[in-house]
Amino acid sequence: MPDVGFGAKWRDGLNMTGFSINPGSSFPLGAKVYPEGVNFSLFSKGATKVELLLFKEIDSSRPERVIALNNRQHRTYHYWHVFVPGLKAGQLYGYRVEGPRAPEKGARFDPGKVLLDPYGRVVAVPPGYSRELASRPGKNTATAMKSMVADLSRYDWEGDQPLKRPFAQTIIYELHVGGFTKHPSSGVLPEKRGTFAGLIEKIPYLTDLGITAVELLPVFQFDAQDSPPGMVNYWGYSPVSFFAPHQGYSSQQAPLAVLDEFRDLVKALHRAGIEVILDVVFNHTAEGNQLGPTFCFRGLANEVYYLLEPEQALYADYSGCGNTLNANQSIVRRLIVDSLRYWVEEMHVDGFRFDLASILSRDEKGRPLENPPVLWDIESEPVLAGGKLIAEAWDAAGLYQVGRFVGDTWKEWNGKFRDDTRAFLKGDPDTVTSLAHRLLASPDLYQHKEREVEQSINFVTCHDGFTLNDLVSYNHKHNEANGEENRDGSDHNLSWNCGVEGPTDDPEVESLRNRQVKNFLALTLLSFGTPMLLMGDEVRRTQQGNNNAYGQDNDISWFDWGLVDRHADVHRFVKKLIRLRLHFDKASLEHDMTLTQFLAQGKIDWHGVKLHEPDWGPESHSLAATAVSLTGARVFHLIFNSYWEALHFELPQLPENTFGGWRRLMDTALPSPEDICEEGEATLVEEPTYLAQQRSVVLLFSAIGPKG
């Protein structure tokens, strides 16, 4: 318990009742529960007056008690603190902070607004919450979000710990907590649809699919009203807290219940052998630009938390969302690292994917830093050692750092893999050389760093952009539902509709689309690196051509579970392919093997339609490769034909110590269940050539060594 010091008196905002309190302690930040009461501590530079507000109800128009903190007793440096006896977990609270109102100098104090605790573990959202009122002058007490005191010490983890699975054994599945079970076809009870509890019920599906890690779109409390009129912020990239789980994902009404429900989810996933990676947004907040609302940081120390333009009334916007966190400022650095530690220590998550991570490399003037302090703080934090750190190595202002992101342990979303595999399978010219790089974990991007093969996170689709089904069904985006006359979203999709725009009953077009979907999945799961799949791609989930569905909390974004049966052949294909990858363990790569060592030790021969004659020219659309596993137990032969006609590929002669000949594990041109099989079911290939059909991927193998 903090040092109680000398007693002080505060007066109740309603009935003026005296109550003994003490100054409390500046550490720890936030609201800390002790047997005798609660210690509150808040950072607010430049404040002239701070009041702690205690509420009885979430939508109270007036606080039940107001505790005025004075400079002499309740302030240490820029930390305002107080210990209040008798308070317990479940207490609603907020802050009222006075200070200079001088936007031209970066100061935006607003004593009319109830402010959240930046370190608050729970955010309570009133039924009448209004972003609009938080953006206007004047009070918004009844409609403001409030913090709630939480005690996390009583949860029984039953021995659970983060799994620390090697990246070499990882299959990532990016999913949206709400969208995964909101559709009525999910079979989840209505009160659990779109919640952490609902997701728990679908863990057997993930296990059966072969997923080893889920990457959850943002689960920090976000502002669902941060969107154009008539829409909602569905994705959640609009944080109001970096510690509180999102109330909208709780199946229960009591605000504190979300803590246990999230931990129940993590514990259940771990029991199933599935890691939990959180998509975290430390590049901006929901407070937006100079016209945005005041929730927290803006009203505490605006010029500390945000990057400002030389005209300090305006916000620097490297996020595309109105503001940019000042991530390399010492206070903000501490906030970020404290948040990450909290989610690992208290919530047991296994890792993080950092949205627009390149922003974290910018200094207080917005300039890129060679060695950004916050990124090294994160990497060197002992609590995070052994966990997963994944960077989206670009930002909305053009800083692109794929292959150049700082650090020794960070993995990167490989946008080059996405674009080059799309271009190759689309049939674009001059793509074969790039394809070879992507198959080998992108040595053109990563070999100079002497890092492990798995540094490249390989993906073709993610939440942002077309789904895999739409990638092969639309030439153009169709974002009319977003209300911006189809102006939003990227125009550079590298998609191909296979001859018809949108849904079709043409069996030939549908067959080709199915094959292209399998081709993309095969490239993702057979390439060296760490594969990531998008929720629903394994059953051809569609967003009706919408490539920017951030505000579509409806059928456009939800997982339609009827697709599992409708596209059972693709679902089966993905399951088999994942099992093949994990069974062969990607040629038994050692977890600590660098990309350079792999390329030096791996026995890889490139071919075209003729052996040892790969065509690297701009008009080439095919490639073949033979590789011996590092253990020497198997030899593989891969054929990639993106040409619009079938091609005969010469097959290499097998070494004398192989047995059984070439056997076919996969051919995406064949109907299910012939398209892919288990090792023991592989079909013998007796001809010296293999006829690879137009736009197909083929995998052959042979065992090495004495039979048996």
In sequence order, what DSSP letters do the residues of 503-521 get, joined into one string?
A: ----HHHHHHHHHHHHHHH
In a domain, 666, yes or no: yes
CATH assignment at residue 74: 2.60.40.10
Q: Examine the pLDDT at 262 and tell me if it is beyond 80.
A: yes
Q: Does residue 143 lie in a domain region?
A: yes
Residue 540 backbone phi and psi in degrees, to 5: 60, 50
Q: What does the radius of gyration of the chain's CA atoms come to, in whole angstroms?
A: 28
Is residue 49 situated within a structural domain? yes
Q: Is residue 627 part of a domain?
A: yes
pLDDT at 705: 75
Band the pLDDT of 16: cuts 50, 70, 90. very low
What does the pLDDT read at residue 431?
98
Q: Confidence class of residue 599 from pLDDT cuts 50, 70 and 90? A: confident
215 strand-pairing partners? 174, 277
Predicted TM-score (pTM) above 0.75: yes
- Beta strand 146-148 with 49-55 is unpaired
In a domain, 291, yes or no: no
pLDDT digits (tens, 9 = 90+) for 627-669: 987 777 889 999 999 999 999 999 999 988 788 899 999 999 9
Query: What 3-state DSSP class applies to 381?
Result: coil
Q: Are strands 647-650 and 689-692 parallel, antiparallel or unpaired?
A: antiparallel
pLDDT at position 593 is 73
Contact 660, 684 (CB under 8 A): yes
What is the structure's pLDDT at 11?
A: 36
E strand map for 537-657: 603-607, 622-628, 634-641, 647-650
Q: Which of 248, 260, 197 is nearest to 219 (CA)?
A: 248
CA–CA separation, 20 and 118 (whole Å)? 26
Say how many Å lie between the first and final Cα of the chain, rounded: 67
Amino acid letter at 610?
A: K
Q: How far apart are CA 128 and CA 143, in angstroms?
A: 5
CA distance 381 to 250: 30
- pLDDT value at residue 19: 53
Structure tokens at 82: 């107080």
Task: Answer whether residue 509 is part of any domain.
Answer: no
* Alpha carbons 583 and 172: distance in angstroms, whole number: 16
Q: Which two tokens stand for residue 518?
A: 């399998």
Three-class DSSP category at 52:
strand
Q: Does the pLDDT at position 589 exceed 50?
A: no
Distance, in Å, from the CA atom of 147 to the CA atom of 52, rounded to the nearest integer, reads 11
Dist CA 441 CA 305 (whole Å): 37
**571 inside domain:** no
- Last-in-domain residue among 101, 130, 148: 148
- Torsion over CA: 324, 327, 330, 332 (sign): positive
Mean pLDDT of 174-194: 98
User: And the tokens for 401?
Assistant: 């750092």
Fill in the amino acid letter for 242. Answer: F
DSSP state at residue 367: P
Domain-ending residue, one of 94, 119, 148: 148
Render pLDDT for 122-155 as a digit per residue (tens, 0 to 9). Answer: 999 999 999 999 999 999 999 999 999 999 999 9
Asked, for residue 697, whether it belongs to a domain, the answer is yes
- The range of the structural domain enclosing residue 684 comes to 594-704
652: domain CATH number is 2.60.40.1180
Measure the CA–CA gap between 333 and 268, rounded to whole angstroms.
32
DSSP 292: S
Residue type, 424: F
Tokens of 376: 């090294």
Look at the chain and report how many structural domains it folds into: 2
Domain boundary among 131, 148, 165: 148
What is the pLDDT confidence band of residue 7, given thresholds at 50, 70 and 90? Answer: very low
Instruction: Give residues with Cβ within 8 angstroms of 253, minimum separation 6.
Output: none
- The model's confidence at residue 20, banded by pLDDT at 50, 70 and 90, is low
Cβ proximity of 592 and 448 under 8 Å: no
Q: What is the dihedral of CA 679, 682, 684, 685, to 10 degrees?
A: -100
Alpha-carbon distances of 674 from 565, 663, 664, 681, rounded to whole Å:
18, 13, 10, 10
Report the share of the chain in percent with pLDDT over 90: 89
Output the CA–CA distances (angstroms, integers) from residue 535 to 59, 178, 532, in the order listed. Answer: 36, 12, 10
Average pLDDT over residues 590-608: 79
List % helix, strand, coil for the chain (3-state, nearest 5): 25, 20, 50
pLDDT at 667: 98
Q: How many other CB atoms are found less than 10 A from the CB of residue 137?
A: 9
pLDDT of residue 14: 34
Gap between the Cα atoms of 71 and 118, Å rounded: 21
b/e map 439-478, b = 16+ CB within 10 Å: bbbbbebbbebebbbbbbbbbbbbbbbbbbbbbbbbeebb
**Catalytic sites, residue numbers:** 355, 392
* Residue-averaged pLDDT of the chain: 94
C-alpha–C-alpha distance, residues 124 and 144, integer Å? 9
What whole-number distance in Å separates Cα of residue 609 and Cα of residue 557?
Answer: 42
